[in-house]
Amino acid sequence: MKFDRRMFTHFDFVQVFLIIPIISVSFVLVYEASIFLAEKQLVYTIVGLLAFFICFILPIRKLAWLIPVVYWINIILLLSVDVFGVERLGAKRWLEVPFTHFTIQPSELFKPSFILMLAYLIYRNPPPKGGYKLKKFLELSFYILLPFFLIAAEPDLGTATILLIVGFGTLFIIGVNYKIWLSIFLIIGLSSPIIYTHFLKPYQKQRIHDFLSEEPSYQVQQSIIAIGNGGLSGKNIEEATQTHFKFLPISTSDFIFAYTVERFGFVGGAFVLALYMLLIFHLLSLNKKLKDDYFARVVTNCVALFIFIYVGVNVSMNIDLAPVVGVPLPFFSHGGSSFATFMIFFGILQNLITFRYFSVKEVIKIL
């Protein structure tokens, strides 16, 4: 790979400076909880960096014609889950890799292709003045709603809903006629009781019931105790009793925010949230810089919305402001799938930002 000085000029180092502290604090917490998990986290980090590098060096704009192919391959994988899927805890979300004991989760693999497909479609047909009209909006909605229904049927309503919000949230930022949004909000408001009664699974209703009940669930109770125990500046390892004595469930993944506050207090929790807030604001600010580059703009907004939703939902369920669902903190919760997915997101994003002023021939020559 031959480096060009312009790569360093256009590379967005702000993202790196904001993400590295998040990964570092996470590793410290996971290491304190379990050396074994920390070793696994180190492997996940290396794999994630490799995924980032691969996505960064790919000539994505030149290979844009392949994006619909990849999208539909992932749709086929989602469809195949119903037939060949491996069932765990009453849900079919995984496919077993032939001749191995490994499984893959097509809904995780789908996320990068989902972002790229939206970018590809909008890049080929940018919104007119006043935003997209109904015909184009329905066409774009098809590519958002199709995976939503397939993933929700697994059932994995959490992931499906996140994709739905990211897809339509991006359309809102890019530009859709306001009359369409008013109609959608009205329809959702009127149909909410029917959706709850006829379409939600019993365990999904139970999550909502637990959230609305006077007493939070056991997991959330322990999370709130851990946050209260942290105080302003946090506790040392021995005094962080909720985590030290295993009262706090899943302390390195779903409830790692509560673990963070117990160890580093309100100050530590605020520091982590500030990093996420700055990262989201920075990504959204790129809309001005990338005004005429709809391909990069769509990817940027999708990534910003993914981070906003993941952080908002995870922290909210830690403090009993949202039902408990398996939504991790990006780059922070222990786990390989989420870490690799977000590294792929940022690899694609950095590729589109860094090489946006390069011609196709220059990109190929460099790579």
* Confidence at residue 121, expressed as pLDDT on a 0 to 100 scale: 97
Give the lowest-confidence range in 90-104, 233-247, 250-264, 295-309.
90-104
Structure pTM? Answer: 0.89
Does the structure show a pLDDT above 70 at 239?
yes
Q: 286: pLDDT confidence band, cut at 50, 70 and 90? A: very high
Residue with more model confidence, 307 or 357: 307
pLDDT at 351: 94
Residue-level pLDDT at 90: 63
Any idea what DSSP says for residue 200?
A: S
Domain limits of the chain?
1-63+200-366, 69-189
Q: Is the pLDDT of residue 229 over 80?
A: yes
Read off the pLDDT band of 199 (50, 70, 90). confident
Checking if the pLDDT of 365 tops 70, the result is no
Look at residue 367 and tell me whether its pLDDT is greater than 60: no
pLDDT of residue 155: 77
Give the angle subtended at the CA of 58 by the CAs of 57 and 63, to the nearest 5°: 160
Q: Which residue has the higher pLDDT, 197 or 112?
A: 112
pLDDT tens digits, one per residue of 144-178 = 999 999 998 887 888 899 999 999 999 999 999 99
Buried b (16+ CB within 10 A) or exposed e, 2-11: eeeeebeeee
Q: Do residues 96 and 81 lie in contact, with contact meaning Cβ atoms separated by under 8 Å?
A: no
Q: What average pLDDT does this structure show over 229-251?
A: 84
Neighbour-count burial for 275-296, b at 16+ CB within 10 Å, e otherwise:
bbeebbebbeebeeebeebbbb
Q: Which amino acid is at 51?
A: A
The span from the CA of 242 to the CA of 219, in Å, is 11
Amino acid in the structure at residue 140: L
Of 283-287, 300-304, 332-336, where does mean pLDDT reach its minimum?
332-336
Average pLDDT value for the chain: 88
Lowest mean pLDDT: which of 48-62, 163-177, 186-200, 224-238? 186-200
Dist CA 193 CA 196 (whole Å): 5
Give the pLDDT mean for 294-303: 96
118 vs 254 pLDDT, higher one: 118
CA 237 to chain centre: 30
Give 188's pLDDT tier (boundaries 50, 70, 90). Answer: confident
Residues ≥6 apart with Cβ < 8 Å to 242: 222, 225, 226, 229, 248, 251, 258, 259, 262
User: 304: closest CA among 145, 172, 155?
Assistant: 172
Tell me the pLDDT band of 100, cut-offs 50, 70 and 90: low
Q: What is the pLDDT of residue 136?
A: 95
Please state the rounded mean pLDDT for residues 6-29: 90
